[in-house]
Amino acid sequence: MSLAEKILQGDIRAAARLMRDVDDGFSSALPELKTLYPHTGNAYILGITGPPGAGKSTLTDQITASFRQSGRRVGIVAVDPTSPFTGGAILGDRIRMNRHADDEGVFIRSLATRGALGGISRSTGEVVNIMDAMGMDVVIIETVGVGQDEIDIVRMAHTTAVVMVPGLGDDIQAIKAGILEIADVFVVNKADRDGADRTARDLSMMIEMGNRKEGEWLPKVMKTEACRGTGIEELMAEFEAHRGFLSASGIMQRFTEEKNRAVFSEMLKERLFNSVNGRILENGELKRIVAGMGTRSVDPYSAVEEVLDRYLLDAGSESA
Amino acid sequence: MSLAEKILQGDIRAAARLMRDVDDGFSSALPELKTLYPHTGNAYILGITGPPGAGKSTLTDQITASFRQSGRRVGIVAVDPTSPFTGGAILGDRIRMNRHADDEGVFIRSLATRGALGGISRSTGEVVNIMDAMGMDVVIIETVGVGQDEIDIVRMAHTTAVVMVPGLGDDIQAIKAGILEIADVFVVNKADRDGADRTARDLSMMIEMGNRKEGEWLPKVMKTEACRGTGIEELMAEFEAHRGFLSASGIMQRFTEEKNRAVFSEMLKERLFNSVNGRILENGELKRIVAGMGTRSVDPYSAVEEVLDRYLLDAGSESA
């Protein structure tokens, strides 16, 4: 039986194995992913992001417990793109593992490397797909920070929660332009701390000042104390409200289409490059170009045009 | 006279104009960049990165003043990739502008958008090249944070300083895997604050524990109070030491080669994709693929392979 067939029958070890293959860039993963693809598209994808130390892991843990209480199977992808080189560890992992270790309805996977197949967002997407095909009802993507990588990642989510903590004034300033656009829900966690009301007020003001069009979703600011479970029920209700909004307003359809387009484009870009790059690497052309750039006798703009002319079918018709 | 010719004669307005064209993705920029390219490769490129609030702008200001005192012309590219959507402002800009506004030996450019030509690191590279061709002796790239974008950006620098402030323990934990690999110098700024010695000690320990090979550069931890100018002279000496190390050890040569290869690859990837994507957009193929993904009757892996077969010359020989 192929890995994919085992996964479709709920084999967790087969799923873990395929995720590793994807991460390692094994070409053997490709037919498996093709087999799984028709079985994807059913999971509700929830993104959780925010600065380090905001309590995202604890919050994810509580949210998972709540989904489990209502009988949903939960996949968790914990992504840490801040450590692209050495593949740093996700600290909260062990803690979470302990709590849900014996629960077959929870599947956790950490991603710290960028993934050989092309970027961490690509790897994350494949892992989400595998969990989706496994029959997970909910897939939670938890990621640190709000750089471009993280934004690409949480864009896969149907609903994205941005978690903040009181007293990170400067950080809010620095990242607000980015988070305003991706947050469907703001969570002020550690709400027992000094300044929680102030942070919540600042966020609310930011939302009000934002340029929302009519009919658009207006993010709410929720307060939680994840370590005590305070505010989780209200947060879950807000997730449900957003999900309902997406379906009712027809946004879900558009969202899926945009996501599919982005997935395809990213793969096309990667494969085109790998194919052409492999050939100019093999025939020595790349070496000549790079050497020429070193002496400034070759400029990269012209070199790229020549390579396109040589390897792209009918590239000439472009300029015609 | 072309923009490029004007720039080579030191015309600052022409340079600013070309940088805007690059940012806007005007194809008219391409021949200008080609003309400038042979005149690049002379500037010493210095990267300055670190979390928001670490005082990078003030530090850049002091470093610039020091370079100016020794008669060097300085270009500054201030990059803020944390605001990819709305193109948020670089706060420190106005302050710096005031100090160096009348100095023809200083040229400042802020980049907040990702740039139409393909990513913020690409735009940053073009701006650095233009400054280089203008005859700037030093180009300082100042960027916020240490996500993948920032790492791609500071990789262009010959010497990279990572700026920290006392009391950001959690952040250090979260980012250390990434910064260890890019930092040539660590700067503990605001060194008058409580905990400065502790932060410096933590960093030193991190460096010691790192897996440096023999003959590799060992980053030092420098303490500064940028707002008073304390520690700047020592920091400048350390930059000079690193530059000397690069030249003497032959690393500069390898560095330039790797950088040139990365620049070419990035351009090739972008142009290949744009060309093929433009054609499948025009002939309706993309639309059919995305629609098929929506009903799960088409999987993106197979669709990409078909597109490659159709548009890449001799793609069949790959699998042969």
Q: Please name the residue of chain B whose CA is at the shortest distance from the CA of residue A33.
A: B301
Where do the domains of chain B lie? 37-249, 263-319
Chain B hits for A263, CB-CB cut-off 8 Å, are 293, 300
Residue range A38-249 in CATH 3.40.50.300: yes
At residue B24 the predicted structure's pLDDT band, cuts being 50, 70 and 90, is confident
Q: Please name the residue of chain A whose CA is at the shortest distance from the CA of residue B147.
A: A82
Evaluated on CA atoms A237, A241, A247, A251, the torsion sign reads negative
- Predicted confidence (pLDDT) at residue B318 exceeds the cutoff of 80: no
Chain B hits for A52, CB-CB cut-off 8 Å, are 170-171, 173-175
How many percent of chain A have pLDDT more than 70? Answer: 83
Pick A100 or B206 by higher pLDDT. Answer: B206
Report how far residue B66's alpha carbon sits from residue A65's, in angstroms, rounded to the nearest whole number. 57
At residue A282 the predicted structure's pLDDT band, cuts being 50, 70 and 90, is very high
Report how far residue A277's alpha carbon sits from residue A303's, in angstroms, rounded to the nearest whole number. 13
Tokens of B90: 């670089």
Minimal CA–CA distance to A57: which of A30, A89, A17? A89
Predicted local confidence at residue A113, as pLDDT: 55
> Other CB atoms closer than 10 Å to residue B84's CB: what's the count?
22
Task: Look at A256 and B114 and tell me if their CB atoms are within 8 Å.
Answer: no
- Predicted confidence (pLDDT) at residue B42 exceeds the cutoff of 80: yes
Task: Look at B268 and A307 and tell me if their CB atoms are within 8 Å.
Answer: yes
Per-residue pLDDT of B232-277, as tens digits, reads 999 999 999 999 999 988 888 888 999 999 999 989 999 999 999 9
Per-residue pLDDT of B66-101, as tens digits, reads 999 999 999 999 887 554 333 333 434 434 455 676
Interface with A, mutate which of B293, B297, B306 (most A CBs under 10 A): B293
Residue positions counted in chain B: 320
> What amino acid occupies position B135?
G
Predicted local confidence at residue A178, as pLDDT: 62
- Predicted confidence (pLDDT) at residue B53 exceeds the cutoff of 80: no
Measured between CB atoms, which of A173, A178, A304 is closest to B84? Answer: A178
HSE-CB for A48 with a 13 A CA cutoff: 27
Task: Look at A304 and B37 and tell me if their CB atoms are within 8 Å.
Answer: no
- Predicted confidence (pLDDT) at residue A96 exceeds the cutoff of 70: no
Q: Which CATH architecture has domain B37-249?
A: 3-Layer(aba) Sandwich (3.40)
- Predicted confidence (pLDDT) at residue B116 exceeds the cutoff of 70: no
Tell me if B238 sits within 8 A of B187, measured CB to CB.
no
Task: Look at A267 and B300 and tell me if their CB atoms are within 8 Å.
Answer: yes
Per-residue pLDDT of B138-153, as tens digits, reads 999 998 765 666 777 8
> What amino acid occupies position B283?
N
> What amino acid occupies position B318?
E
Report how far residue A19's alpha carbon sits from residue B128's, in angstroms, rounded to the nearest whole number. 40
Tokens of A182: 């991706």
Predicted local confidence at residue A175, as pLDDT: 53
Predicted local confidence at residue A94, as pLDDT: 38
Pick B26 or B173 by higher pLDDT. Answer: B26
How many percent of chain A have pLDDT more than 90? Answer: 54
HEC sequence for chain A: CCHHHHHHCCCHHHHHHHHHHHHHCCCCHHHHHHHHHHHCCCCEEEEEEECCCCCHHHHHHHHHHHHHHCCCCEEEEEECCCCCCCCCCCCCHHHHHHHHCCCCCEEEEEECCCCCCCCHHHHHHHHHHHHHHHCCCEEEEEEECCCHHHHHHHCCCCEEEEEECCCCHHHHHHHHHHHHHHCCEEEECCCCCCCHHHHHHHHHHHHHHCCCCCCCCCCEEEECECCCCECHHHHHHHHHHHHHHHHHCCHHHHHHHHHHHHHHHHHHHHHHHHHHHHHHHHCCHHHHHHHHHHCCCCCHHHHHHHHHHHHECCCHHHHC
